[in-house]
A and B are shown apart, each in its own frame.
Chain A
Amino acid sequence: MPGLGARLGRGGATTFQQDLANSDCIVIMGANMAENHPVSFRFVMKAKERGATVIHIDPRFTRTSALADLHVPLRAGSDLVFLGALVNHVVNSARWHTDPFFKEYVVHYTNAATIIDPAFRDTEELAGLFSGYNAGRGAYSTETWQYAGSGTDPGAAQQPEQDVQSREGGAATGRPEEARTDPTLQDPHCVFQIVRRHFARYTPEMVERACGVPRDRFLRVAEALVNNSGRDRTAVFAYAVAWTQHTTGTQIIGCCAILQLLLGNIGRPGGGILALRGHATIQGSTDIPTLYNLLPGYIPMPTATPQHRSLDAFLGAERLETGIWHELPKYLISLLKAYYGDSARPENGFAYDLLPKIADDYSFQRMLLLMKDGAMKGLFCMGQNPAVGGQNAVLGRQALANLDWLVVRDVHEIETAAFWHDAPEVRGGAVRPAAIKTEVFFLPAALTAEKDGSYTNTQRLVQWHDKAVGPPGAARSEADFVCRLGQRLKELYRGDDSPRGRQIAALTWDYPTGGPRGEIDLDAVVREINGYTVADGRPVPDADALRDDGSTACGCWIYSGIAPQEGTNLARNRRGDEGAALGWGFAWPANRRILYNRASADPAGRPWSERKAWIWWDAAEGRWAGHDVPDFPATKPPGYRPPPDARGLAAHPGDAPFVRMADGKGALFSGPSLKDGPLPTHYEPWETPVGNVLYPEQARSPVAPTFERPDNPYHAVGDPRFPYVITTYRLTEHHTAGGMSRWVPWLAELQPEGFVEISPELAREHGVDNGDRVVLSTLRGEIETRALVTARLRPLTIDGRTVHQIGLPWHFGFGGLARGAIANDLSPLVEDPNSRIHQAKAFTCNLRKKG
């Protein structure tokens, strides 16, 4: 989540779904909310009933569009032009310059006034590149992307050759008072002026050329946003993976953050950015991550580099002087105590050397290549179906076929478990099962109702669920499997003095088990996540109680407070209400529902308006009060000014709402924290039928990680063999790669077969009738499926020519009841440089009628 993290401080939705009902304008973009988040959409409908305007900006007319007031179709992959033009419109609009609210919010709560190093050069000056680009490495040096006078950034600049982490915490490592500012926003080197110049050519005309959106329709959206923002009104954006899954995904999301900061919508009821997560507990899987480059609580994973060679070196490099990240030692050392127990001692750097270090790119896409090339020998696959769901699934299945062993745990024999006997290439005779050496272990898993556990949903809300009935037969929960696997490994490595043996021996793995099946007690896991005092094992009340001397242990500092007393688990709470519903579940951090909610009050601590009051300074009590848990030190007065020697949060003034940022301000200019620049810039999707109208010399992202090789070829920009834009997506009726839905008769019958959606115009060009079989092709693969001809898809006029868009649901595979060709046999492996997420929402293909 670096898109939000780099600009606001935390990689999570700034608001909660129920708060949508308080909004005056809801913009849904990069998401098909009604179809993929139908329960959340309830609150969009509530807002609508109260009179809110709902706008859906999307290439297709979906079930979300059907319930919107305005549908704005645009070309898939052109989102940043649209958002950039909104930024340009806002900063030049009469309302923004005449209503003092906007400048007051922006000057106090964002880094708009901060002066940037005059050596910084924008993409406007360097034809689509920022200063510091090294063409040989395909990467940036970020020395000039700094606040003036703050020096270089030790976290990023010293390791240009390495896979530097994109991280939260923002622009500067220097102290806030060292940064020069111009509150009049006139200095040519201040962030506001840089932003203004950067987006000056993102005009309605450019939107028309690049997005295919007529300028009057663009202006309708812009006006709706501006008119529904301000002291008394708020607008919210909801997005999902259709923003994330681009080579510029992080910057698209970041551009939305810039826009919402400029409109004064962050941290306020009915405002903010709602990151709609792809499926259940995806938020949880980045908080306590399944990602290779993060430790729990968004602590960067150490790299195998000199500046991460020891605990002290790591903390020296990653700790920020100001803001919450100043407390990094407490969080990391408590985590090491939770991992390694008595083996983590002050004299051995709390066993920091036992932590694995990153020496390469281990993202999912890269893993597939490592498997295919024989470097990775084994794979555990749980809750994932890469034979269908991974990009370039042809390559993905070849990778699976080159493993020594593969363990698949699922409730059905999904394609990833069955690829060796049932895949199209096997049934077609091209691959013989006997030639596949992979030994596949298929183990039965338990469904939600068959196990205890929790979900962390879109709004950072942790909700507990209890087992209703035990899983059938030998099926077991993931937690039980992982617990037993750990026990066996510890047994296996007993007495092994190799580094790996020591790593495993040192792990604390004393989870109590019980019940008729000897299953792990998950309350013990919750207790470990919450944190405890090492001496007596008593839970800590919250993250503030964590220490950097080894006296506390904590599995995930942002979840600390979830189980503050023995026998409590706030995720079990079920006291709902129509407001912030603080009695329902537990939202990290510290049960806050709207993040950065200090910004819901003006700099003096008063609500911006009666209608939009959320938290405020109660002078009589000397503390922040209101409807939510303040996301701010509870007793820090609005007028607080930090003394020169202050550190951590004490170094932030009383009007700095973004507590995780070094300077406490929302970052319009994100400094060196992102790899592709401090400001969002439009680059075309890696595969595109048209050039970049904004930066003709720089069609595609200069730093996107690519994997060009014979088994993952790319289409050149404007390749006439592949003239159509294709976008992949999900349907309400199915769940991701289908493992939970295509085998279920009640769901399978609702969408029983794969299909491709094309416009009547494109169908006519190819003589295709509704229901005909068609063939889609890319250089990666070819699939045959049925055409659903519908006016919900439409061609657009892009820079004077007609561009057709094709829509392809990606749920289907060769297993289960609802079957269909694998959409991802077409898609390429190419990534966003910051999040390492693939680009599935826009690439190119060809189509022909099945002859």
Chain B
Amino acid sequence: MRHSGATRSGSNLVLTGPTGARPGAVGFLTDTTLCIGCKACEVACKAWNGLPADDFGLTGFSYDNTKDLGAATWRHVAFIERFDGGDGRRPTDLQPFQSDWLMLSDVCKHCVEAGCLQACPTGAIVRTEFDTVVIQQDVCNGCGYCLPACPFGVPALSATDHKAHKCTLCYDRLKDGLEPACAKSCPTDSIQFGLVGELLARARGRVETLQGRGVAGAYIYGDRTVGGGGGIEGLNAFFILTAPPEVYNLPARPELPQRKTMPSYLTTIGTAVALGVAAFFSLRERGGA
């Protein structure tokens, strides 16, 4: 699929609808109900981006030997087995589409208001003309400020070049009018690439269908209500989930760490003033004495 050559229309935020995605923004809809856990996305990502195999070893965590996103792992398929209430029984009647063995292809969320970008002191992390968030490797100095600034724990420092790395939403492919490698390789269209506005409309329809067919728990993770609140204003890479976010190791109520900085500053200033005043009076009293 060639995308429509999305570019950002102006630099002003247009915060409308359930996400703050700007017109022309592109992203991913990752629909877990269609995911078969084949990991083609992980391999296609590494192959296209020239990322090495890393962290080699059998984990024993179901079929997840990747564990998490990292400096050399920009797609990660999580496997969650949810069978046994301890009584040894297993379900055989299943809800339509994915159930009981949950699989989710995790990725950088390309947040509308990105914590990593705001925290980056060198300007290495930029918002591109596609409204994606990219770390410029020639500028990054490896300070690591972006790591704690991401509510999802996505960027990671490489032990090889000591710089921060994460999904670029295949910036180079977008420049050539190609869809990202992971979406291209997904056999069941669990990963869909496109304009965020269109994907969101599609996702809403899909959730409605799922609920109509008995998947009562289906919902969108990544709009302002769920997953994209707390100052993030929505995720350009969002998900359809059928279980609570924590089940997938996603934060239930992520928020921008920067939102906590103003109260912290004010507290600090207030404390400083209070201490100053206290010191002034105590010194004056001593001087008076």
Do the two chains belong together in a single complex? yes
Residues of A bordering B, CB below 8 Å: 34-35, 38-39, 41-42, 45, 48, 61, 63-73, 217, 731-733, 745-753, 755, 760-761, 770-771, 786, 788, 790-792, 794, 817
A42/B189 contact (C-beta < 8 A), A63-B36, A66-B103 known = yes
Contact among B46, B63, B66, B98 for A67, CB-based, below 8 A: B98
The 4 closest A-B pairs by CB, nearest first: A745-B53, A791-B83, A66-B101, A749-B53
A820 to B90 alpha-carbon distance, docked (Å): 30
B43:A750 contact, CB within 8 angstroms: yes
With most chain B CB atoms within 10 A of its CB, the pick from A68, A70, A749 is: A749
Q: Which B residues between 75 and 100 are near A, CB-CB below 8 angstroms?
A: 81, 83-84, 88, 90-94, 96-100
Contact among B46, B47, B58, B92 for A786, CB-based, below 8 A: B58
Q: B166 contacts the other chain (Cβ, under 8 Å)?
A: no
**A41 cross-chain contacts in B, Cβ below 8 A:** 36, 187-188
**B40 cross-chain contacts in A, Cβ below 8 A:** 38
Q: Which B residues between 98 and 115 are near A, CB-CB below 8 angstroms?
A: 98-103
Q: B42 contacts the other chain (Cβ, under 8 Å)?
A: yes
A791:B187 contact, CB within 8 angstroms: no
**B102 cross-chain contacts in A, Cβ below 8 A:** 66
A790 to B53 alpha-carbon distance, docked (Å): 26
A750/B39 contact (C-beta < 8 A), A48-B96, A61-B90, A68-B94 known = yes
**B56 cross-chain contacts in A, Cβ below 8 A:** 748-749, 752, 817
**B97 cross-chain contacts in A, Cβ below 8 A:** 48, 67
A69:B101 contact, CB within 8 angstroms: no
Which residue from chain A places its CB closest to the CB of B73 in the assembled complex? A749
A817 to B56 alpha-carbon distance, docked (Å): 9
B58:A753 contact, CB within 8 angstroms: yes
Q: B258 contacts the other chain (Cβ, under 8 Å)?
A: no
Which residue from chain B places its CB closest to the CB of A54 in the assembled complex? B96
Which residue from chain B places its CB closest to the CB of A45 in the assembled complex? B188
Q: Which B residues between 25 and 71 are near A, CB-CB below 8 angstroms?
A: 34, 36-40, 42-43, 46-47, 52-58, 60, 62-63, 65-66
A255 to B101 alpha-carbon distance, docked (Å): 31
Contact among A38, A48, A73 for B38, CB-based, below 8 A: A38
**A68 cross-chain contacts in B, Cβ below 8 A:** 94
Which residue from chain B places its CB closest to the CB of A761 in the assembled complex? B88
A38 to B190 alpha-carbon distance, docked (Å): 12
A34 to B63 alpha-carbon distance, docked (Å): 14
A65 to B83 alpha-carbon distance, docked (Å): 13
Contact among A63, A217, A749 for B103, CB-based, below 8 A: A63
Pairs across A and B, CB under 8 Å, 25 listed: A34-B36, A38-B40, A39-B187, A41-B36, A41-B187, A45-B188, A48-B96, A61-B100, A66-B99, A66-B101, A67-B98, A73-B90, A731-B63, A746-B47, A746-B53, A749-B53, A749-B56, A750-B43, A752-B56, A753-B58, A788-B60, A788-B62, A790-B62, A791-B90, A817-B56
Which residue from chain B places its CB closest to the CB of A71 in the assembled complex? B92
**A733 cross-chain contacts in B, Cβ below 8 A:** 39, 63
**B52 cross-chain contacts in A, Cβ below 8 A:** 745
Known: A64-B36, A68-B94, A69-B93. 13 other contacts (CB 8 A): A38-B38, A42-B187, A45-B34, A61-B90, A63-B37, A66-B100, A70-B93, A71-B91, A217-B92, A746-B42, A750-B66, A788-B62, A792-B83
**A791 cross-chain contacts in B, Cβ below 8 A:** 81, 83-84, 90
A42/B188 contact (C-beta < 8 A), A69-B96, A732-B37 known = yes
A72 to B94 alpha-carbon distance, docked (Å): 11
Residues of B bordering A, CB below 8 Å: 34, 36-40, 42-43, 46-47, 52-58, 60, 62-63, 65-66, 81, 83-84, 88, 90-94, 96-103, 187-189
A638 to B53 alpha-carbon distance, docked (Å): 61
A217 to B92 alpha-carbon distance, docked (Å): 9
With most chain A CB atoms within 10 A of its CB, the pick from B36, B60, B83 is: B36
A706 to B103 alpha-carbon distance, docked (Å): 42
Which residue from chain B places its CB closest to the CB of A750 in the assembled complex? B39
A381 to B83 alpha-carbon distance, docked (Å): 44
Which residue from chain A places its CB closest to the CB of B101 in the assembled complex? A66
A786 to B37 alpha-carbon distance, docked (Å): 22
* Shortest Cβ gap from B213 to chain A (Å): 8
**A752 cross-chain contacts in B, Cβ below 8 A:** 56-58, 65
**A217 cross-chain contacts in B, Cβ below 8 A:** 92
**B42 cross-chain contacts in A, Cβ below 8 A:** 746, 750
**A745 cross-chain contacts in B, Cβ below 8 A:** 52-53
A745 to B92 alpha-carbon distance, docked (Å): 36
Which residue from chain B places its CB closest to the CB of A72 in the assembled complex? B92
A792/B101 contact (C-beta < 8 A), A41-B188, A45-B34 known = yes
A70/B92 contact (C-beta < 8 A), A751-B63, A792-B81 known = yes
**B38 cross-chain contacts in A, Cβ below 8 A:** 34-35, 38, 63, 732
Which residue from chain B places its CB closest to the CB of A66 in the assembled complex? B101
* Shortest Cβ gap from A441 to chain B (Å): 31
Which residue from chain A places its CB closest to the CB of B40 in the assembled complex? A38
Contact among B53, B60, B92, B101 for A771, CB-based, below 8 A: B60
B92:A73 contact, CB within 8 angstroms: yes
B101:A63 contact, CB within 8 angstroms: yes
